[in-house]
Chains A and B, each alone.
Chain A
């Protein structure tokens, strides 16, 4: 396809987009979160409803708008009226809303989350002024939830491929300079300046070069990249194309985990579409740039998120990392210079080339420019996919955007950065979220997973959980990681089982520093972080486990006595009702009695008790 062809297609796309919005339009979010909440059943109901009554209305499946707590999410727009977003749209509710809003033109305020667009609807706030959205700046996520993800026309109608078109008219060094001025740093974890990585690759002479998009989002508790691919796959592919053009590669790879089937299918669909119209292939837009993209499906190994391990995996080998240098930008896939960037980084490249460096750099802090996506999960009221300027505080993220505790129990920490990151306690919540501040607190930015923890979360158990994860995922190549994580895990197991010794904390710290210093790759070098941060900020909990043989949060089963604290108990009887084996006897007005011989230690009563009266 040449430039004129693209212009024609873009014009057609804009016409189609206008046409689509000149009629009643109904969208429903069917990304993975939506589906988990039953969006496909709702969609089915809506389709039948619209067909049965012969309603003239477009029904479009869109990606995730980020309000995951309220899935399934549906929007309705009537010409001349703002788009109204509805939450928790069960099939039953869908019928009611469609009937009222679509047929009678009366938006249903009680189910609405917010409205987008010109004009006001009584009782429905502007979506971007609602608490969850107000502090967000949605740039890289701007299309997610508004366009049909794999529909190229929707992408083109909303600025798609402007960036590539501009890039193809620039000298490579001008592109590097644009990225340098933007201050874009890698969004996958380490935060290395993107332009520098690319420059090294350009400066390394080789006939063949490669670019790889790292979509091996392995951190448990993180789903930003999945949502971005599911909601706006072309932005990632466009970034990959620009990277390929800049460094002089003719082939790009997307390494995506098999656990993301929907993201994989969206990518494949989008790539096929680009091949069909000629935006992938030979002489793209009439230039001498030829490029192809291959999707590689990961096979379930966390360590493959590490770039040298990822390369080994694409080469069909065990995904084991190797020593760096040489860095992949010098010697990567099949020994050729290779640029590896994270999903979000590449999506940013397409946006930055479209809008310019200044547009990006006006957000964020001095050292951490731009906005960043985070997945907000755990014990917070409004879970979801968010985007905030770097430098926003954890307090803003957890309380303003997330709405604070879901259960009413006090929030005590967030875990940020996955198994490589750390736990940051609530008294440090005024910490700005930027690369340097998080590192100084013992955590890392990581790819952006934030898991909120409340009083009912045991921090020793969390440390044990992460270490069990890294220990399982350790590839076994280097000794400090293979044996060090195992020893640390054994000690944590002792502590959570009531066999802890007073010298264990110091031993953990010593082992942790050895594993950090001695490990070959990022997995081992960062594996001790969850342990070190919990020891640093929650030492009291470790000591309670070791000295008093007590788990203050009531999580570590071997330490639980299942006794009713009659000083706290209000005799409400909820524990007896929730017990699955009938081990709790209770009569109105008296304290419950727990029969230990029947008790299976499932903790249902502890979780149910509103007074924390069972320990």
Chain B
């Protein structure tokens, strides 16, 4: 068995462990997908196929639901994730410029991951922190009143820590 297959088998075990917490009712689909994404950071194709079998629904149904919701991803995430809020307050207080800065700095578009899997850039409709707009979440930590200069510093700081 190749190393790749070994890894995949391990991943399948992890999916099965998640599925064993559920009873197989169709209404559980979204929660199951959320748990799988919590585990892997995205929804691997083989996992979707397994979920379809588990719930007794066509694979197309599982993919249809998964692709409907913005939360679900079908590609692995980078090690570091930048989420820029594009809510109304953030928009009028300059989030488009922050997004531009991140794009230029990392050379990726919204929703993409750098080829070295170090950074992912996401946008979110609104995180409800409008009073401190514009806001950015970097690796789970929320930053308020972010400017292009500030986000550049944050990125540099994370990269600095990684080099050490």
Chain A residues with CB under 8 Å of chain B are 32-33, 35-37, 68-69, 71, 217-223, 226-227, 258-260, 296-302, 313-320, 375-379, 383-385, 415, 418, 449, 451, 453, 457, 462, 465-466, 469, 473, 475, 580, 600, 602-604, 607
The 7 A-B pairs of least Cβ separation, nearest first, read: A68-B131, A221-B88, A223-B128, A300-B70, A377-B130, A220-B87, A299-B69
Taking a contact as CB atoms under 8 Å apart, the answer to whether A259 and B92 are in contact is no
Taking a contact as CB atoms under 8 Å apart, the answer to whether A315 and B89 are in contact is no
CB proximity of A457 to chain B, nearest CB, Å: 5
- B124-136 vs A, CB cutoff 8 Å, 1 = contact: the mask equals 1111111111010
Query: What are some 7 contacts across the A-B interface (CB < 8 A)?
Result: A220-B87, A222-B130, A300-B71, A316-B31, A379-B92, A379-B93, A383-B133
Measured CA separation A371–B98 after assembly (Å): 37
Interface assignment of B142: CB less than 8 Å from any CB of chain A: yes
Chain B residues with CB under 8 Å of chain A are 25-31, 33-34, 64-65, 68-72, 86-94, 97, 100-101, 104, 124-133, 135, 142-144, 148-149
Q: Which of B31, B65, B71, B135 contacts A36 (CB 8 A)?
A: B135
Taking a contact as CB atoms under 8 Å apart, the answer to whether A378 and B71 are in contact is no
Taking a contact as CB atoms under 8 Å apart, the answer to whether A221 and B132 are in contact is no
Taking a contact as CB atoms under 8 Å apart, the answer to whether A258 and B34 are in contact is yes
Q: B25, B64, B104, B131: which has the most chain A beta carbons within 10 Å? A: B131
Q: A223, A379, A600: which has the most chain B beta carbons within 10 Å? A: A223
Taking a contact as CB atoms under 8 Å apart, the answer to whether A457 and B92 are in contact is yes
Q: Which of A218, A316, A462, A465 contacts B28 (CB 8 A)?
A: A316
Known: A219-B126, A222-B130, A316-B27. A451 touches B89 (CB 8 A): yes
Q: Which of B28, B68, B100 contacts A602 (CB 8 A)?
A: B100
Taking a contact as CB atoms under 8 Å apart, the answer to whether A36 and B142 are in contact is yes
Taking a contact as CB atoms under 8 Å apart, the answer to whether A316 and B29 are in contact is yes
Taking a contact as CB atoms under 8 Å apart, the answer to whether A301 and B69 are in contact is yes
CB proximity of A314 to chain B, nearest CB, Å: 7
Taking a contact as CB atoms under 8 Å apart, the answer to whether B129 and A36 are in contact is yes
Measured CA separation A418–B27 after assembly (Å): 30
Return the chain A residue nearest B147 by Cβ. A604
Taking a contact as CB atoms under 8 Å apart, the answer to whether A260 and B133 are in contact is no
CB proximity of B48 to chain A, nearest CB, Å: 14
Known: A315-B27, A316-B26, A465-B88. A378 touches B126 (CB 8 A): no
Known: A33-B131, A68-B132. A299 touches B30 (CB 8 A): yes
Measured CA separation A221–B92 after assembly (Å): 10
Return the chain B residue nearest A257 by Cβ. B128
Taking a contact as CB atoms under 8 Å apart, the answer to whether A32 and B129 are in contact is yes
What chain A residues lie within 8 Å of B72 (beta carbons)?
Answer: 299-300
Measured CA separation A384–B69 after assembly (Å): 30
Q: Which of B30, B88, B104 contacts A378 (CB 8 A)?
A: B88
Taking a contact as CB atoms under 8 Å apart, the answer to whether B131 and A375 are in contact is yes
What chain B residues lie within 8 Å of A296 (beta carbons)?
Answer: 31
CB proximity of A408 to chain B, nearest CB, Å: 15
Taking a contact as CB atoms under 8 Å apart, the answer to whether A33 and B132 are in contact is yes
Taking a contact as CB atoms under 8 Å apart, the answer to whether B148 and A377 are in contact is no
What chain B residues lie within 8 Å of A319 (beta carbons)?
Answer: 68-69
Taking a contact as CB atoms under 8 Å apart, the answer to whether B143 and A415 are in contact is no
What chain A residues lie within 8 Å of B129 (beta carbons)?
Answer: 32-33, 36, 223
Return the chain B residue nearest A383 by Cβ. B131
Measured CA separation A69–B133 after assembly (Å): 10
What chain B residues lie within 8 Å of A259 (beta carbons)?
Answer: 124-128
Q: Which of B31, B90, B125 contacts A302 (CB 8 A)?
A: B125
Taking a contact as CB atoms under 8 Å apart, the answer to whether A378 and B93 are in contact is yes
Return the chain B residue nearest A466 by Cβ. B88
Taking a contact as CB atoms under 8 Å apart, the answer to whether B70 and A220 are in contact is no
